[in-house]
Chain A
Amino acid sequence: MAAFAQEQLDALVNGMYREGFLDEQFQQIRALDEGGSPDFLVELLGLFCADTDRMLNEAALLLNQPIVDYKKVDAYFHQLKGSSASVGAHSFKLTCMLVRDSCDKNDKESCLEALNLAKQRFYELSKRLNIMIQLEQAVYAHKAGK
């Protein structure tokens, strides 16, 4: 059972690297776990997902105003770009940069397009991260139970 979970986990992570969801920074984050426990990784990814979800919603609200505060939208995506870089969320980081480019041009239409792309990318990423967290915990639970 543990071996199966480990296989699933390895396949998932390798796939995420291959598809560009993750970059080498994620490997560094994983290496920060202690004693094989995924607690730190789980905490970090949970924090990332919660913060990202909140900021995407707030940015969407701002972009749906009659007069858009591009500075505020840019500030959110500056933070999102930073946090995604910190956890190794490569493709999501790139979409954040696209939103920022649109904010620079004060272009509402392209901002909204880029935001939708960012939301979609985040949705795909967070699905995989949630599965990863469950598999990490399952593998650790089996190893710890030995």
Chain B
Amino acid sequence: MMASPLFLLLALALYFSPLKKQQIVEHILKVSEAAMEKMKGEIGEEERSNCDNQGDGKLKVRILVVDDSLLDRKVVERLLNKSEEGFEVITVDNGKKAMDILGLNEAETELAAINDQSIDIVLTDYCMPGMTGYDLLKAVKGQSFRKPIPVVVMSSENEPQRISRCRAIGAEDFILKPIQIKDVQRLRNYAKPNTSSPIVGSKRKMKPLELATESGGSEKRPRLAGVVVA
């Protein structure tokens, strides 16, 4: 239990008078922060498990699908959602938005709320106006993410030069459109769900230990709620 070390420290503080009260408070705060972090991590794991678990122990894989064709996006999204491979699908219609989601653009946008580390794999069309799939692949592979993000490129053109070009800069695979069920199974093999990524839209919120300042004093002394340190 969290309370026990705190009370122990307080008791020690009272007993060993030379210890400065400020140091005690700081130490208690450190202990409680560490405990909170540990609990957050445990709750995070539980939440991820509750939110993302398919029920068979498999974690869902967050896949970012990038394609300028609305029709193709709909087909791929449906295929991925209907498969039994456990995908959570996010779709965008251009490379720039994909960069925003992955946290690769400096400018903040409303899409930046989805943290880059919550994407487990990128599936991008090769031919797109503006930023091509190749450009996106290059940008992703050029970054040193905490956990490398696999990138699979898809194209309707079966061009050996295009394929080798993509593989040369690190594409995990190259899929010929239209994407098939067997391709979905391959995608799952490349992606490992990110268990340490922050949870988006977590149901439970941690209430941090509140630090209240004393009123009326020139020097504000922090005190723990319910604990007065003179």
Contact = CB atoms under 8 A, between A and B. Distances in A.
Nearest to A93: B156
B127 A78 contact: yes
A57 to B, nearest CB: 18
B78 A32 contact: yes
The DSSP consensus for interface residues of chain A is helix
B230 to A, nearest CB: 67
B75 A86 contact: yes
A34 B82 CA distance: 9
A79 interface: yes
Interface string B62-80: 0000000111101100110
A32 B79 contact: yes
B178 A25 contact: yes
A32 B82 contact: yes
Contacts, number: 45
Contact of B177 (A34, A40, A85): A85
Given A32-B79, A32-B82, A82 B74 contact: no
Interface stretch (A42-50, A112-120, A122-130, A131-139): A42-50
B125 to A, nearest CB: 9
B72 A86 contact: yes
Interface in B149-186: 156, 177-178, 180-181
A79 B69 contact: yes
B69 A32 contact: no
Interface residues of A, number: 19
Nearest to A29: B75
A83 B69 contact: yes
B177 A87 contact: no
Interface in A7-51: 25, 28-29, 32, 34, 40, 43-44, 47-48, 51
A44 B180 contact: no
Nearest to B75: A86
Contacts of B78: 32, 40
B177 A82 contact: yes
A110 B74 CA distance: 34
Interface in A53-95: 78-79, 81-83, 85-87
24 contacts: A25-B178, A28-B178, A32-B75, A32-B78, A34-B82, A40-B78, A43-B74, A44-B71, A44-B75, A47-B74, A48-B71, A51-B70, A51-B71, A78-B156, A79-B69, A82-B69, A82-B72, A82-B156, A83-B69, A85-B177, A85-B178, A86-B75, A86-B177, A87-B75
